[in-house]
Structure 1
Amino acid sequence: MKNKIFVAILLIAVLVLSGCTNKDNVPGANTNTSADDIKYIEIYIDDYAFHPQSLTISRGDTVRWTNNDSVAFIVKSSSFQSPTLTKGMTFTYTFHESRTYNVYLATHPYTKSGIIVVE
C-alpha cells in the first residue's frame, strides 16, 4: 500500500514539475519560426531579367525570387532549380556554401544570367 501511495505522489510531482521549465532558456526549444519571421533578400524577375542581376550575400541568407512577368520561368543554378513560376509566384533558397552561383532562367536561356556571391 505504501508503494502505491509513493508512486502516486511521485507521479503527481513529476507532472507538476514538468510544467515549470522555461522553454525560452532551453537551446533549440523555440523552433516555431514562421515564414513571416524569415528575412528574405529579394530578386525580382522583370522583362526577362533578374533585378538585381548580381548580389553579394552571407552564408545562411535566404533569397526569394518573385516573378513579375506575365511569362513563366524556372530559376536554375548548379545547386538548385525552382518549380515553374508563373506571374506573382515566388521561390526561395537558402545559401549554405560560400562560393559564386551562376543563376539563369532555364525556360528562356537567351536571357541574361545572374550572379550570387556568397561570402
Structure 2
Amino acid sequence: MRNKLFVVILLIAVLALSGCTDKDNTQVNNNTSTEDIKYIEIYIDDYNFHPQSLTISRGDTVRWTNNDSVAYIVKTGAFQSPTLTKGMTFTYTFHERGTYNCYLATHPYTKGGIIVVE
C-alpha cells in the first residue's frame, strides 16, 4: 500500500513539473501580468496585423494579441503560434537578424506582416 501511494505521489509530481520547462522561446498568455518584460505589440484586428511592419533589435520580444472574434495562428519561417482565440496573446523573442514574413496560417488570403530584426 505504501509503495502504491509513493508511486501515485511521484507520478503527480512528475506531471506537475513537466510543464515547467521552456522548450523554446515562445509563450502563450491568456492574461498579461508579466511586468519585467517590455513587449513590442502587434494587434490582430479585422484579419490584419497592426502595425503591418516593424523594425526591431535582436533580443526584442514581440507580443501578438488577437482582438478579433475569429481564431488565428501566426506563422513565420521561424515559428508558429498555437491557435489564438479572442483576447489571447503569443510572444516570441527574436534572437537572429533577418526579415521575418508573418502571416495568418488560418487565413492565408489575408495580407501578411513583416518584422525586420537588425
Q: Under a length normalisation based on structure 1, what TM-score does the superposition of the two structures give?
A: 0.71
Q: Which has the higher contact order (CA 8 A, sep 6+)?
A: 2
**Separation of aligned partners in 2, 1:92 and 1:81:** 11
Unaligned runs of 5+ in 1: 1-33
How far apart, in 2, do the equivalents of 1:117 and 1:63 lie?
A: 12
Write the distance in 1 (CA, Å) between the matches of 2:83 and 2:41. Answer: 18
TM-score between the two structures when normalised by the length of structure 2: 0.72
Deviation string 1:17-75 (CA, Å, 9 cap, x unpaired) is xxxxxxxxxxxxxxxxx831000000000000000000000000000000000000000
Number of corresponding residues: 86
Pair 1:52 & 2:51 matched: yes
Consecutive unaligned residues in structure 2, runs of 5 or more: 1-32
Instruction: Give the SS at the match of 2:35.
Output: helix
Alpha-carbon shift at residue 111 of structure 1 (Å): 0.4
Matched with 1:101 is 100
Backbone CA RMSD of aligned residues: 1.0
Q: Which has the higher strand share?
A: 2
The percentage of aligned residue pairs carrying the same residue is 87
CA distance in 2, matches of 1:61, 1:72: 25
Between structure 1 and structure 2, the one with the greater Rg is 1
Deviating beyond 4 angstroms after TM superposition, the runs of 4 or more aligned structure 1 residues are none
Instruction: Write the distance in 1 (CA, Å) between the matches of 2:63 and 2:80.
Output: 13
